[in-house]
Amino acid sequence: MSASADSYYLPHGTPWSIFGSLGLFGFMLGAGLWIDGLNSVGPLVMGLGVLTLILTQFGWFGTVIRESESGVYNQQVDRTFRWAMVFFIFSEVMFFGAFFGTLFYARLFVVPWLGGASNMFFTHALLYPHYRALWPTNGPAHVGGTFSAMPPWGIPAINTLILLSSAVTVTLAHWALKAGHRRKVIAGLVATIALGVSFLLMQAHEYYHAYTHLNLTLHSGIYGATFFILTGFHGLHVTIGVIMLTVILIRVLRGHFTPEHHFAFEAASWYWHFVDIVWLGLFIFVYWL
Amino acid sequence: MSQSIALSHDAHPASRGLMRWIKTTNHKDIGTLYLLFSLIMFFVGGAMAMVIRAELYEPGLQFVNPGFYNQLVTLHGLIMVFGAVMPAFVGLANWMVPLMIGAPDMALPRLNNWSFWILPFAFTLLLLTLFLPGGGPEGGWTLYVPYSMELGYSFPFLIFAIHLMGISSVLGGINIIVTILNMRAPGMTLMKMPLFIWAWLITAYLLVAVMPVLAGGVTMQLFDHFFGTHFFSAAGGGSPLLWENVFWFFGHPEVYIMILPAFGIISEVVPTFSHKPLFGRTTMIYALASIAFLSFIVWGHHMFTSGMPVSADLFFMFSTMLIAVPTGVKIFNWVATMWKGALTFETPMLFAVAFIILFTVGGFSGVMLSLVPADFQYHNSYFVVAHIHYVLVTGAVFAIMAGVYYWLPKWTGHMYSEFWGKVHFWISVISVNVLYFPMHFLGLAGMPRRVPDYAVQFTNLNMISSIGGFVFGAAQLIFVAIIFTTIYGGKKAEARVWEGAHGLEWTVPSPAPYHTFSSPPEVAG
């Protein structure tokens, strides 16, 4: 376990990754058994898998945090973490890209084609003569029954303000950390986490509203499908971001980080800004236009 | 310089026995694990291919029923792509990237271990489906909707296995990018990097860019199947074509993920045995980058017959043909590297030369398939099967074999048997053409792919193809025998195994010590 300022830190063996793999395997195997209704142990296997994954995260990140605080990471290791986080966020951007691509493809091509655009005259005339290609739509078969689209200028607009404000508070916390004002860091982080949690509560309320009042559900054709997959995965990422920021807050309370050395903080804030920008795309293309 | 480091106190694995391999963070251990895993999967997928060829030896149903035949076709594709070819290249990257750029290890060693150890579980999940009621997935490796919506119990396991493979690939890709960007020895500028490193930098970028798109796509299938969404059904305003677009947006970069590292290996092997520097080094790098860029805008050529507007057909036709330009640059540069070189034909060079010729055959049939009107005839026929196997077997797999023979002495410290290497090569190169070349004619004559039975007029060519297949399959047992006899014995290899080889990996002893380049080497300006 040798390391110094001029040599790259290399761990010698890790116990964590095999638990991570076992956890993932249990998670997926259990989920498969459950969702297929093949065997009643499904939920149990899945639960054990998820638990193993969570414990693995505690162990693995805990090890990394201890190493970081003991000062074995030099500048080059820091650069490694930066590049890795950049490309991890890039992979997340592409993941959302698949769903945004789906939304644009459905709106620009599929729905007009079902209405007879391009060379699809006979598709429309023979299969769906009564279908009018308008957005939002639940398709020619009217699946899921009549529904209303989510209006943008209620909860979604408030949520936009919440997330944009949280980008400001997390940046204020970062400036304070660089200036060495620990109280302001804590205040900024607490505010950011509070804003994130309120966003999630608002989102939960919006889903409740959609299901109970608008009849907007997963079954509401392509509109419902794209609406819930985009906002749902975004909500999941906000949750992950809140967890990351909470870990950072606990570390700040324990006296971790220096004004020069605090990449974990920056990584969490990069992630938070990424979630923020995805939301702007959602607000514009899912709710507004 | 590196010999002294090899003798330092932690020059050995931290654990012994099985725990060494489970806990290892050493890039050489993990590279070995990847390569062995890939070899096992090559034989699992290969065994399925043998059953397929046995069934196709004669018309009529001999050994398997049509449903199981379709399961074999599907699993053969998934296993060879995600289990054999990709892990083999990642294994080569693990072994060689740190050695070639003068780094002590991969940038993120723990993550590296995890990237590997996800894979055995992913394939366990995939192969488990064979034992479920109803058997494995049958829709083909492209998981086309609506076939995949009709799969039984195997469906969620298939989707989750793909998720696991995706996680493994993205983490591995991030690790390779970061290693190359951040861990190079002082003096090794980007333009001085070996071509294998360049190929992998670009490949890893493609991995990180497109694997998440596949993950998103199969997630939408999962929702359609179980949670009542209508992404892929026209009744709800979705479209089955949407899946084809998502899949091939991933799928076309994916086939380049399987060929760009092969280009990198060939660009290392050919100069060594030509005793000349690579011709047009800079253009080779730009060609790699151009191919990677084009891979994102050609996916529609897999869907010409699916009913896209003519304007889209034309766009994808022309963009596809454009790929022939940078690929041609690469082929001509390899040939120009050999031109007037002092050529020697050891086994890696034989595989490299066969690669250049036979990959070009696959490239030509690719250009034929890119023509929209012609593709309407070739589509869904054995011509497509011939094309994909020329580029993936005599392309990617031959390059992997060239790389294995090239670097095996560096890994094991022993020379492999040149005689048996040549025996393996000649049997393989002859039988592989007996196997795949008749498929061109079968396809042009109208034999559809993915069928266990066929019309009697296709019998002779199918028999020839099957015989070639059995010989090619058996010849790979020689490959395994060579690898294991070389691991356990053989003539001692020198540090610079090949007289014409240059690069940092040849400055460390053979076998490469457990830790290399703990302090970085200087790369001459």
Q: Which fold has domain B18-249?
A: Cytochrome C Oxidase; Chain A (1.20.210)
Cα A276 from Cα A274, distance rounded (Å): 5
Each residue's pLDDT tens digit, B433-451: 999 999 999 999 999 999 9
**pLDDT classification of B12: cutoffs 50, 70, 90:** confident
pLDDT level of residue B4 (50, 70, 90 thresholds):
very low
Q: What is the mean pLDDT of residues A17-35?
A: 96
pLDDT at B11: 65
Smallest CA-to-CA distance from A80 within B165, B520, B110 is with: B110
Which class in CATH covers the domain with range B259-505? mainly alpha
* Same fold for the pair B18-249 and B259-505: yes
Asked if residue B178 lies in contact with residue B513, where contact means CB atoms within 8 angstroms, the answer is no
Average pLDDT over every residue of B200-222: 98
- In B, residues 320-339, which contact A (CB 8 Å cutoff)? none
Q: Please give the Cα distance from A42 to A274 (Å, whole number).
A: 34
Partners of residue B210 in chain A, C-beta under 8 Å: 94
Using CB atoms, which residue from B15, B164, B227 is nearest to A13?
B15
Kindly list the domain boundaries of chain B, sorted by start residue: 18-249, 259-505
Q: B81-90: per-residue pLDDT in tens? A: 999 999 999 9
Contact A25 B125 (CB under 8 A): yes
Q: Report the amino acid identity of residue A117.
A: A
Averaged pLDDT, B300-323: 94
- Read off the pLDDT of each residue in B194-214 and give the average, rounded to a whole number: 98
Q: CB-based contact (8 Å) between A139 and chain B?
A: yes
The pLDDT value recorded for residue B2 is 39
Burial bucket for residue B27 (CB in 10 Å: 0-12, 13-18, 19+): buried
Q: Kind and range of the H or E element at B268? A: helix B260-274
Instruction: Calculate the CA dihedral of residues B323, B326, B329, B331 and round it to 10 degrees.
Output: -50
A95 contacts: CB under 8 Å, gap ≥ 6: A233, B212, B213, B215, B216
Closest-CA residue in chain A for B238?
A222
- In our burial notation (b when 16+ CB lie closer than 10 A, e otherwise), range B100-131 reads bbbbbbbbbbbbbbbbbbbbbbbbebbbebee
The phi, psi pair for B105, rounded to 5°, reads -170, -175
The answer to whether residues B421 and B396 touch, using CB atoms and an 8 Å cutoff, is no
Calpha distance A43→A50 (Å, rounded): 10
Q: List, in sequence order, every residue forming a beta bridge with A4; answer none if it has no partner.
A: A7
Using the predicted structure, report yes or no on whether residue B318 has a pLDDT greater than 50.
yes
- Answer whether residue B417 shows pLDDT above 90: yes
Span B245-251, mean pLDDT? 97
Q: Which two tokens stand for residue B355?
A: 């690669």
Give the sign of the dihedral formed by CA B506, CA B507, CA B510, CA B511: negative
Which phi and psi angles does B339 have, rounded to 5°?
-55, 125
Q: How many CB atoms lie within 10 A of CB B179?
A: 28
Joined together, the tokens standing for residue B229 give: 């969404």
Facing B121 at nearest CB: one of A24, A109, A218: A24
* B323 and B291 Cβ atoms separated by less than 8 Å: yes
Q: Tell me the pLDDT band of A194, cut-offs 50, 70 and 90.
A: very high
Residue A35 above 80 pLDDT?
yes
Residue labelled with tokens 């944009």:
A164
* Cβ distance of A10 and B109 shorter than 8 Å: yes
Hey, where are the domains in chain A?
Answer: 1-73, 74-288
pLDDT score of B10 = 54
Flag if B229 and A144 touch (Cβ within 8 Å).
Answer: no
Q: List CB contacts of B281: < 8 A, sequence separation 6 or more.
A: B195
Indicate if A74-288 has the same CATH topology as A1-73: no
- Phi-psi region at A217: left, alpha or beta (left = phi > 0; alpha = psi -120 to 50): beta
Residue-wise pLDDT for A95-116, tens only, equals 999 999 999 999 999 999 999 9
Distance from C-alpha of B157 to C-alpha of B512, rounded to nearest angstrom: 40
Give the model's pLDDT for residue B307.
Answer: 86
Helix, strand, coil tally for chain B in percent (to 5): 70, 0, 25
Burial of B456 (0-12, 13-18, 19+ CB in 10 A): exposed
The whole-number average pLDDT for the span B298-319 is 94
Is B236 within 8 Å of A218 when comparing Cβ atoms? Answer: no
Residues of A in contact with B134 (CB under 8 A): none
Q: To the nearest whole number, what is the mean pLDDT of chain A?
A: 95
**Cβ contacts of A91 on chain B, cutoff 8 Å:** 170, 174, 208-209, 211-212
Identify residue B120 by its one-letter amino acid code.
P
Q: What is the mean pLDDT of residues A202-211?
A: 97
Cα–Cα distance measured from residue A231 to residue A103, given in angstroms and rounded to the nearest whole number: 12
What is the dotted CATH code of the domain comprising A74-288? 1.20.120.80
DSSP conformation letters of chain A: ---BTTB----S--SHHHHHHHHHHHHHHHHHHHHHT--TTHHHHHHHHHHHHHHHHHHHHHHHHHHHHTT---HHHHHHHHHHHHHHHHHHHHHHHHHHHHHHHIIIIIHHHHTT-TT-HHIIIII-TT----SS--TTTTTT-S--PPPTTTHHHHHHHHHHHHHHHHHHHHHHHHHT-HHHHHHHHHHHHHHHHHHHHHHHHHHHHIIIII---TTSHHHHHHHHHHHHHHHHHHHHHHHHHHHHHHHHHTT---SS--HHHHHHHHHHHHHHHHHHHHIIIIII-
Strand partners, B448: B381
**∠ CA B222-B228-B231 to the nearest 5 degrees?**
65
Q: What's B414's DSSP letter?
A: B
Chain A interface mutation, best of B119, B178, B214, highest count of A Cβ atoms under 10 Å: B178
Digit-coded pLDDT (tens) for B462-498: 999 999 999 999 999 999 999 999 999 999 999 999 9
Please check whether residue B482 is in contact with residue B420, taking contact to mean a CB–CB distance below 8 angstroms.
yes
Distance of alpha carbon B118 from alpha carbon A20, whole angstroms: 8
- Tokens representing residue B437 in the block: 């070349």
Q: What is the pTM of this model?
A: 0.95
Q: SS3 of B124, please?
A: helix
Is residue B399 within 8 A of residue B265, CB to CB? The reply is: yes
Q: Please count the other Cβ atoms lying within 10 Å of the Cβ belonging to residue A202.
A: 16
**Span B124-151, pLDDT tens digits:** 999 999 999 999 999 899 999 999 999 9
CB B505 within 8 A of CB B99: yes
Residue A43 touches chain B, beta carbons under 8 Å: no
The per-residue pLDDT for A1 is: 38
* Averaged pLDDT for residues B217-234: 96
Asked if A94's CB is within 8 angstroms of B209's CB, the reply is yes
pLDDT digit string, tens, across residues A118-154: 888 998 999 999 999 999 999 999 999 999 999 999 9
Measured from the Cβ of residue B60, the count of other Cβ atoms closer than 10 Å reads 10
Q: Does A226 score more than 80 pLDDT?
A: yes
Of residues B5 and A74, more confidence is placed in A74
Residues 245-264 of A with CB under 8 A from B: none
CB-CB neighbors (< 8 A) of B218 in chain A: none
Residue of A71, A131, A108 lying closest to A226 (CA atoms): A108
Query: What is d(CA A147, CA A217) in angstroms, rounded to the nearest whole number?
Result: 8
Residue B90 DSSP code: H
CA distance B181 to chain A (A): 8
How many other CB atoms are there within 10 angstroms of residue B186's CB atom?
10
* B-chain residues near A218 (CB < 8 A): 223, 227-229
Looking at CATH, the fold of the domain delimited by A1-73 is given as Helix Hairpins (1.10.287)
| Interchain contact B161–A (C-beta under 8 A) | yes
Q: Are B128 and A25 contacting, i.e. CB atoms less than 8 angstroms apart? A: no
Best CA proximity match to B81, nearest among B154, B142, B153, B33: B142
Three-state secondary structure along B270-328?
HHHHHCCCCCCHHHHHHHHHHHHHHHCCCHHHHCHHHCCCHHHHHHHHHHHHHHHHHHH
Q: How far apart are the C-alpha atoms of B57 and B73, rounded to whole Å?
A: 16
